[in-house]
Amino acid sequence: MNENHRPRGRFGYAETPSGKIHFRDEGAGSACLLLHQTPRSLDEFAELQPLLAHNHRTIAMDMVGFGTSPTAPSPHTIELMAAGAVDLIESLGLDNVTVIGHHTGAAVAIEVAASRPDLTSALVLSSAPWTDAEFRIKHADGPGVDDAIAKTDGSHLMELWAMRAPFYPPNRPDLLDRFIRDALAPGLDPVEGHRACARYRMEERIGLVTTPVLMIGAAADPFAMPDLPRVREALTASRKVETVIIEDGMIPLMETHPDEVARAIESFLSRLPN
């Protein structure tokens, strides 16, 4: 990790109805809540958060079921993760929050905005998945990614690494190290977060989103990039939808392109009415 982008700010735990939620709080100004992908943690935003914190109060959280936030019983659901995010927002006394989500976090951000429009002023959906009836049928038995059964010889760690490596930049083992660490959090089943996306009835919820939305696409992400047009089309009630494509972005977009992501978010937020 670049020394200039090491995490700063305040780490803490918030007492909420969802349990003690772990978060990192940095900066001042309008609030931004950062929601990570499966099976990551708030560490996914270690590079991005300090950049956004120049102009905003930024809160990166371990979503329920991840990191050192409370574990969650199976089956995991996007609704459960969203409830944890709402609980954190309320416990910190925030409103008018910009919710920023990447991959699974983007699905959670949609549910937060759909269920609590009173708390949500804008959304940033980075590499958002599209989940509908067809997707649920296709992934009924699980997505396969991050699905490695623990073995006594530890070979499952190499399996996890090998599954992710094709979708990460070459010569960046440090990023895969961070992924492996998060995937091994106590009580975490990496596959359950993906299954939660597969269970989510997004097609019934996304039309409730009324806030302005910035969609960020990573052009070299083979999973989420094809979904971008469908997600955008489904945002029928949003007052404003903009799209930014980062041409060489991959799945670890937050770590590899924080400057471009931060510029896109700042530009979008700066043009919204106060």
pLDDT score for 3: 43
DSSP-derived secondary structure letter, 154: S
pLDDT score for 99: 98
pLDDT score for 36: 98
Each residue of 45-55: pLDDT tens digit? 999 999 999 99
Backbone angles phi, psi at 232, to 5 degrees: -60, -45
Residues of the chain with pLDDT under 70: 1-8, 141-144
pLDDT score for 144: 67
Specify the pTM: 0.95
d(CA 57, CA 52): 8
pLDDT score for 7: 52
Each residue of 56-109: pLDDT tens digit? 999 999 999 999 999 988 899 999 999 999 999 999 999 999 999 999 999 999
3-270 carries CATH number 3.90.550.10: no
pLDDT score for 1: 45
Prior bond to 186 cis, omega within 30? Answer: no
pLDDT score for 90: 98
- The answer to whether residues 39 and 65 touch, using CB atoms and an 8 Å cutoff, is no
Beta bridge partners of 120: 97
